[in-house]
Structure 1
Amino acid sequence: MENKPRILVFIPAYRCEAQIPRVLQQFDAKVQSWVETVIVVDNRSPDATLEAAIRQGSETLVQSEFIAWRNDDNYGLGGSHKAAMRYAVENGYDYIVVLHGDDQADIHDLIPELEAGKHQDVDCLLGARFMAGSRLQGYSFFRTFGNRVYNALFSLVVLRSIYDLGSGLNLYRVSTLREFYYKGFPDDLTFNYVMLLASYYRKQKVRFFPISWREEDQLSNVRLFRQAFKVLGLLAGYFFKRGGFLRGEMRAKPFDSYSGKIQHRQGSASR
């Protein structure tokens, strides 16, 4: 991968035994030519998610390094992000790509952005389900409408056009993550929302790109109305306190570190 950035693809996984093989099958030769390492981070799944990932990853990932990791505790989706982001920082990657393990997003949507060099002058390149060019399959009108309303509310607060608060396909420049300013952010599904607010507050350059999105056999962990009110509370906290809100403790159960163990590894990352 000469002259290409060092890219780590992080796949958070929880109860994705049926879906994780399909996610890893997305990594054809073209995708692997861009990706140095793929790390599946299993958040203590009660099923055989990690075992299914190891079987498929060992077969599919022949060009990229493959790592299967299990968290030492149940850190939540946000906590898994923190574990992977620290791994990316400590191992000198240029970019970290987040691809959810439930097979709703498609990493092929990112490849044209990389080929066009769209990642080179931004800090965050965020997949968006609700902008021109996006493609939704199996997503209800009710949820689409709700997401658009929340996108509009967040846009009003940050005075920028926001097309998605948190999809399953995002890219971050690793150098912006070194300070670990996100340690106190929520460890649950709202982590992405606070990360987005922090990106604008810290004057990072954010760009959205359209993605495809489908809902088939995925298991949702979201309680919609409870989640909706929590997101409104986060937005209100940021609106009134700005930096003070972002520096506060938002975790239900703070962890000193977000550690885990590598359960399987094949290939080697270039240095």
Structure 2
Amino acid sequence: MSRILVFIPAYNCAPQITRVLRQLDSPEVQEVIDGVVVVDNRSPDTTRQAAAEGLAKLPLDTALLHNDDNYGLGGSHKVAINYAREQGYDFLIVLHGDDQGDIADIVPHLKASKQLDLDFFMGARFMKGSRLEGYSTLRTAANEVFNLIFSFISGRRLYDLGSGLNLFRVSAFDGDWHLKYADDLTFNYYLILGVVRRGCRLRFFPLTWREDDQVSNAKLSRMGIQLLRIILFRMYRPKAFFANDHRATARDAYPSTRVV
């Protein structure tokens, strides 16, 4: 029987992470998941304390990891993938710690065991059946344009380049091909292109996405420039794109310290 780990990347989200962990405190959710790991990327606020208190209330296998350096969102993914591999989990669910997504959106799919035939099951904010709450028209339009561009250059319809609720098959990362992708917020953009290139079994599912008290680290103008660079590199130098190391700092490992 497959084992599923929920990974919560956290950075400066003390007010929200308590709510995120409460999402897991229900029999319906606990029926389909086996463990929870919070990876704190050196938050200067009280995120770790709030996470530790929330994890202590859950009747699941839990862990709180503190990155030994600031690895960024992508680096925290790499920490969690390695942890899931070491602990013998088969699937990793990514649920962002800022409480924009709801794990309830994936629970029915897990109950139906849809993940068993997939390598990547990605939440999509911009497909039929999805619902956006408090999301600006400008950001929605920009995301939809980039979704279409990435779909064109990859040859596969992509409904989202990286929401905060996704499921990965842990063994899909065998060979550590993902390590060379950027450690910052652009990690998911490289990942989705790599997933398609490698012919992984990929499917999207609709979700609800909300913005209320979250503070986004993704500035629209800066992310737009970064996306354009990725697009141009992928279009005009595809072999180099998948061969190169895209990290600002190349690392042999992504060590973390277990707090709880």
Determine whether 1:25 maps to 2:28: no
Question: Equivalents in 2 of 1:169, 1:200: separation in Å?
Answer: 18
Alignment-derived partner of residue 208 in structure 1: 204
Alignment-derived partner of residue 269 in structure 1: none
Q: Greater helix percent: which structure?
A: 2
**Matched-pair contact (CA < 8 Å) for 1:40–1:53:** yes
Determine whether 1:50 maps to 2:34: no
Question: Equivalents in 2 of 1:204, 1:92: separation in Å?
Answer: 21
Match of 1:128 among 103, 124, 142: 124
Match of 1:8 among 5, 12, 31: 5
**Matched-pair contact (CA < 8 Å) for 2:73–2:185:** yes
Alignment-derived partner of residue 239 in structure 1: 235
| Deviation (angstroms), 1:71 | 0.4
SS of 2:37's partner is strand
SS of 2:9's partner is strand
Question: Equivalents in 2 of 1:222, 1:58: separation in Å?
Answer: 31
| Deviation (angstroms), 1:178 | 1.9
Question: Equivalents in 1 of 2:82, 2:152: separation in Å?
Answer: 32
| Deviation (angstroms), 1:88 | 1.3
| Deviation (angstroms), 1:257 | 1.0
Match of 2:33 among 26, 30, 35: 35
172-181 or 162-171: which moved more? 172-181
| Deviation (angstroms), 1:152 | 0.5
Question: Equivalents in 2 of 1:137, 1:56: separation in Å?
Answer: 25
Match of 1:114 among 107, 110, 114: 110
| Deviation (angstroms), 1:118 | 1.6
Corresponding residue pairs, total: 259
36-45 or 228-237: which moved more? 228-237
Q: What does the per-residue CA deviation read over 1:73-127, in whole Å, with 9 as the maximum and x for residues that have no partner?
A: 0000000000111111222211011000000000010011112222111110000
208-217 or 226-235: which moved more? 226-235
**Matched-pair contact (CA < 8 Å) for 1:95–1:173:** yes
**Matched-pair contact (CA < 8 Å) for 2:42–2:67:** yes
Q: Which runs of 4+ in 1 moved over 3 A?
A: none
Aligned residues with identical type, % of pairs: 49
Alignment-derived partner of residue 68 in structure 1: 64
Q: What does the per-residue CA deviation read over 1:158-187, in whole Å, with 9 as the maximum and x for residues that have no partner?
A: 111111000000001111112111111101
Determine whether 1:145 maps to 2:141: yes
SS of 1:207's partner is strand
Match of 2:89 among 90, 93, 97: 93
| Deviation (angstroms), 1:226 | 1.3
TM-score (norm 2): 0.97
Question: Equivalents in 2 of 1:198, 1:160: separation in Å?
Answer: 12
Q: Which amino acid aligns with 2:28?
A: K
Alignment-derived partner of residue 247 in structure 2: 251
| Deviation (angstroms), 1:252 | 1.2
Q: Structure 1: give runs of 5+ residues left out of the alignment.
A: 265-271
SS of 2:117's partner is coil
167-176 or 245-254: which moved more? 245-254
RMSD: 1.0
**Matched-pair contact (CA < 8 Å) for 1:89–1:177:** no
Q: Structure 2: give runs of 5+ residues left out of the alignment.
A: none
Question: Equivalents in 2 of 1:203, 1:100: separation in Å?
Answer: 26
SS of 1:125's partner is strand
Q: Which amino acid aligns with 1:210?
A: P
Q: Which amino acid aligns with 2:133?
A: Q
Q: What does the per-residue CA deviation read over 1:8-63, in whole Å, with 9 as the maximum and x for residues that have no partner?
A: 1110000000000000000112111211110000000000101101111212x11x
